[in-house]
Amino acid sequence: MKTYNPYNNVLRVVEQAASILGYVPSDYEAIKYPERELKVSIPVEMDDGTVRVFEGFRVQHSTSRGPAKGGIRFHHDVNIEEVKALAAWMTFKCAVVNIPFGGGKGGVICDPSQLSEKELRSITRRFTAAIFPLIGPEQDIPAPDVGTNAAVMGWMMDTFSMMNGHSVTGVVTGKPIELGGALGRSEATGRGVMFTAKNILHKMNICEKGTAAVVQGMGNVGSVSAKLLHQCGMKIIAVSDVSGGIYHKDGLDIPDILDYLAKDRKNLLKDYKANGIQYITNQELLELDTTLLVPAALENQINEENAANIKAKVIVEAANGPVTIEADEILRQKGIVVVPDILANAGGVVVSYFEWVQNIQSVSWTEDYINQQLKDIMDNAFQSVWNISEEKQLPLRTGAYLIAVKRVVESKKARGIWP
């Protein structure tokens, strides 16, 4: 298989949208390059007294429409090309839902499952200090991503505040509620995925009650998506985590599975026991016969190797970049509808935006209000993407990029090139 470079994947999608929009290369040349890339080393004293040096990154792809915005990933496969791609996806994600942010992303090469809480906190604090010159509520606002959570955001906020000499809540989002976190933020990405799944199923005249769905990944996004889709009446026939998947043709007991996983962060699906379930690999899970497939893990899961075997009618991309550009074409030929990541998983950053607005204005909103605003934004963005895709007879990903690329390019044009 060809080596996969996610940033090249982003560039090809952007170039395609820009040419459909009638832009000439100089209109969009600047957005092909991240504005800033910072690589840092993070020395940490481990619990056994040894010193280990971790490598970390923060990339700002664009600040044209507002401060850079995007998560911090702690994962052993993090690399600069991945972080660049994730940063660019954030730019287009914020643009498609029209919130006033650019895009950024960060990452540290580490395996959080092998670290104690103290080691994780030390990595977080030293990483925050290392990227300190780049971040701030008006410059660049990190948030959780794969391998990070509200606790990590709390330590980042504290480190940044200590270095400034006063509390700065708006420097990160996805914080603990006690530190100004938004109600509903931890469920927001999965909630947005659920709204998007309902929207696309309704357009395809499929009733969600009893309809089969498969969810890959049981991190924050996958587990909340599975929970909310199950609550909508969908039959979740398979879910997976790093250890593999479990399958039941009549539907899994999602609340019981989520209870089991929540009991201990070391619990894995391969050790989950229930009557009639079958253990399957992640590859088998992706290729199951299902109506809805929700990849909620990492990039490059559906690619030219396995796209021809996908049997789902519709894919809602809860992860960033789970379907490659080559796979997109194969799926399109098979008539499989793909709702792109920049739209489907934007719920997280939308509620991050609410959190940031609350922090900088010192106000707080109720969870019902936040969930309703989130629904309105997700539904409107979905309808706009649907309309342009129907009008031009293009896949939804292209439609989403037509809207997003236009907003980013026009913001650049309106600003002009400095000096």
Measured at the CA of 333, the angle between CA 327 and CA 339, to 5 degrees, comes to 60
Among the listed residues 97, 40, 142, the one whose alpha carbon sits nearest the alpha carbon of residue 374 = 97
CB nearer to ligand GLU: give 70 or 340. 70
SS3 string, 160-210, reads HHHHHCCCCHHHCCCCCHHHCCCCCHHHHHHHHHHHHHHHHHHHCCCCCCC
- Give the one residue of 9, 303, 320, 324 binding ligand GLU; rule: CB under 6 A: 320
Q: Which stretch binds ligand GLU (CB under 6 A): 114-122, 204-212, 346-354, 385-393?
A: 346-354
Site for ligand GLU in 262-301 (CB under 6 A): none
Instruction: Round to whole Å and give the CA distance between 81 and 94.
Output: 20
Q: Which stretch binds ligand GLU (CB under 6 A): 5-13, 69-77, 163-171, 230-238?
A: 69-77
Q: Which of these is catalytic: 69, 84, 105, 235?
A: 105
User: What pairs with residue 238 in β-bridges?
Assistant: 214, 247
228 touches ligand GLU by CB under 6 A = no
- Give the one residue of 70, 190, 222, 295 binding ligand GLU; rule: CB under 6 A: 70
CB contact burial 296-313 (16+ within 10 A = b; e otherwise): bbbbbbbbbeebeebebb
Instruction: Round to whole Å and give the CA distance between 338 and 1.
Output: 23
Which pair of tokens denotes residue 120? 């994780």
The distance of closest approach from Cβ of residue 351 to ligand GLU in the complex, given in angstroms and rounded to an integer, is 7
- Give the one residue of 345, 389, 398, 411 binding ligand GLU; rule: CB under 6 A: 345
CB nearer to ligand GLU: give 63 or 345. 345
Q: Pairing relation of β-strands 103-109 and 244-247?
A: unpaired
CB nearer to ligand GLU: give 193 or 349. 349
- Give the one residue of 11, 108, 123, 143 binding ligand GLU; rule: CB under 6 A: 143
Active site residue 105: yes
- Give the one residue of 169, 352, 398, 411 binding ligand GLU; rule: CB under 6 A: 352
173 touches ligand GLU by CB under 6 A = yes
Active site residues: 105
Rule CB under 6 A: which residues touch ligand GLU? 69-71, 143, 145, 173-174, 320, 345, 348-349, 352
